[in-house]
Chains A and B, each alone.
Chain A
């Protein structure tokens, strides 16, 4: 229940700049996800928020109070680790009560608040167990209860779901979102999993090489990526090398390696530049006219059918069609025409890393 402001937050490890001037404002009760590939500095940002890493420059403000130089035990926040980091020598109850005891809560109030936190994650019946007697999912829920029990100002989550198997992860996602809604606690969630970030967060902050690429709602990030990097990172995309043939205020025409032309709505491109066209799988649709090719592979995935199409001029495109649409009925070897809306063609600088 606190507002969080990051102002020009930076961290250098020797010569390496891990975080380069991150500005971010998180409203009270908001759930923000820091999303980026490994090594983008997202965990370093989180550890600076927690007071575990000292920033090289910049400031962290919680409710207007500058906590940049405050040691972590005086920041009053909850941190959930990827490794859970439960105290192995303490029972589940004592783990969850740890933060409350540090605040001087004793006796009946301690029992009541600890059990309430355990009830939140539905583990009240396991209070007497030791962490090693619990499954991974249960341990993660204890870690969550431990972090929220002392009513912290901020809840920080460092890839808390990445050590769980897929089924459990989906379950925990829902649990986490429900908990965050119930407690209305300002939360920062670090992840490299775009699906997790999009489904959990109110807003997503995409990081790359220590810099903020885009901050927005999951819908904005998905439908209006600010850069080719964000477009390539979110969703599953085709990536085609191209050169900008012509550009004006309304968009540009790209020339693919094989000579075919592709219209894009991306603006601010310079004619002649070497770029990469980023096209999401689902934006590639079989149509009456468009890029010509043959279906090389077809794979069925339940609600979706994926087609790998070899273009007539060389190169490959992956198209994704909903089951039941005409495209889904195509078989390997069939000729096909592919249509792509200009608005669905994002452009990234051809750096090779995106």
Chain B
């Protein structure tokens, strides 16, 4: 069974691969607005993933040491949604709404697909 940090590294790695795909789409296809939005969204999504990693680690460590952890830090992640909305409203000529939202969701989709395809099987959990 891989450690928690190894899983997160894998997710970040996969997100960077997708981000490079977005950059290539921005540079070499006529849909530059869409791919630019996807790329910016992916960066925001990476921040969300890092924030989640930090909070999950904090909660896990607190539970292991029988200590208290008071906040789960959901507000900053919601605030990234507000940031995306501000970007779309302020700069509609640069951003594509569906692209930006899909970009923010990129790490979440990767987590979902990774958990469905490779996931933590019961065999792994027992080791």
B and A form one assembly: no
